[in-house]
Structure 1
């Protein structure tokens, strides 16, 4: 009899521990962080197809996106995309001669340098010329929206095609690759 009570008590303790552990995993997974797999080439050379990353879901609950953050958002096609924030609310975005201009000021994009160097003479520019007005019909990005682009500018379905992204559609930002092992680390 004593042995049965002890066994039942031990089983109950294990069940409670497992219940708490699963509860914490669910809390973390659905409210704080979530894994995502990069699908496609649109963020090359920064991210490769198949990279596995951690998405920080709490960052934008307490703050706003920053320029050049890599974010995951719900796209109009009912799919999640990974892109880089280029334009923020109140910004005017334009590209001329492979140079990004925000509110008329040239901006550095160091994450594109290796891609630009890969272009051979006569292949043109990495990013075609455009203005915010041409792509969205807006003169500035309205409150509550951002303009996003993939780092692989020649092969990215981003705000130039799908339009401005509502900040409410952003799941979170990402910058940590956890798989494959050869790529583990932070990206910018």
Structure 2
């Protein structure tokens, strides 16, 4: 008669520990994967915030009524990586190219190749009255724009929507803005006294 082989009394215990080790390894792998996803998500969130959520406090009333004094705006710093500012864009830039100065927010009214002049109180771009703001038809101070100027490559002429309370490209302290001094496109105005959250246009 053939004898039955005795099962080791330790075999079931060994199997238990092997299963336990497998479960622990699986849980560790899942935890590491979760941590990796979390780190990547946080990294992408920081990149997005720094790119699209760069916040600037607007000084003065040069962009009223759309953007009021003291209102915070968000700047898209990636807007002009693959393109260039266009007429009508509201941009943030460093006045005089000095990145130690508080950024200024103004509207681009003329781009490279355009002619710009303020004649009889009216802002003319390529000889045509500019209509981005009602204030552009009753400008009391022409400044540097009293004589016609044709913008060279990388030069932009910027003005505030409220030109009577704006230091902009008409002023020798700012002049035309170089493209390397433009931080990005202003796209969102945050809530402030008397002004709600709205997209900047």
Normalised to the residue count of structure 2, the TM-score between the two structures is 0.71
Q: Is the 8 A contact 1:53 1:178 kept in 2?
A: yes
Rg: which structure is higher?
2
> Which residue pairs with 1:146 in the alignment?
156
> Which residue pairs with 2:141 in the alignment?
128
What runs of 5+ residues in structure 2 fail to find an aligned partner? 1-19
Of 185, 191, 200, the match for 1:179:
191
What runs of 5+ residues in structure 1 fail to find an aligned partner? 117-124
Say what the alpha-carbon RMSD is for the aligned residues. Answer: 3.0
Higher strand fraction: Structure 1 or Structure 2? 1
- Are 2:127 and 1:104 aligned? yes
In 1: Cα distance, 2:117 partner to 2:32 partner: 63
Of 68, 87, 94, the match for 2:88:
68
Q: Please list the CA deviations of residues 59-106 of structure 1 after superposition, one character each: whole Å capped at 9, or x if unmatched.
A: 211111111110011222432110010111111111123311112222
In 2: Cα distance, 1:91 partner to 1:19 partner: 47
Counterparts in 2 of 1:88 and 1:18: CA distance versus 1, 3 Å: same
> Which residue pairs with 2:5 in the alignment?
none
In 2: Cα distance, 1:187 partner to 1:164 partner: 22
- Are 2:179 and 1:170 aligned? no
Secondary structure of 2:170's counterpart equals helix
Q: CA deviation at 1:18?
A: 4.0
Aligned residues: 175
> Which residue pairs with 2:36 in the alignment?
16
In 2: Cα distance, 1:23 partner to 1:147 partner: 37
- Are 2:109 and 1:86 aligned? yes
Q: Please list the CA deviations of residues 19-59 of structure 1 after superposition, one character each: whole Å capped at 9, or x if unmatched.
A: 22321122113345423222222211221123222212222
Counterparts in 2 of 1:129 and 1:169: CA distance versus 1, 3 Å: closer
Secondary structure of 1:63's counterpart equals coil
Of 144, 157, 163, the match for 2:167:
157
Q: Is the 8 A contact 1:90 1:140 kept in 2?
A: yes
In 2: Cα distance, 1:26 partner to 1:49 partner: 28
Q: Is the 8 A contact 1:97 1:128 kept in 2?
A: no
Greater CA deviation, 6-15 or 68-77? 6-15
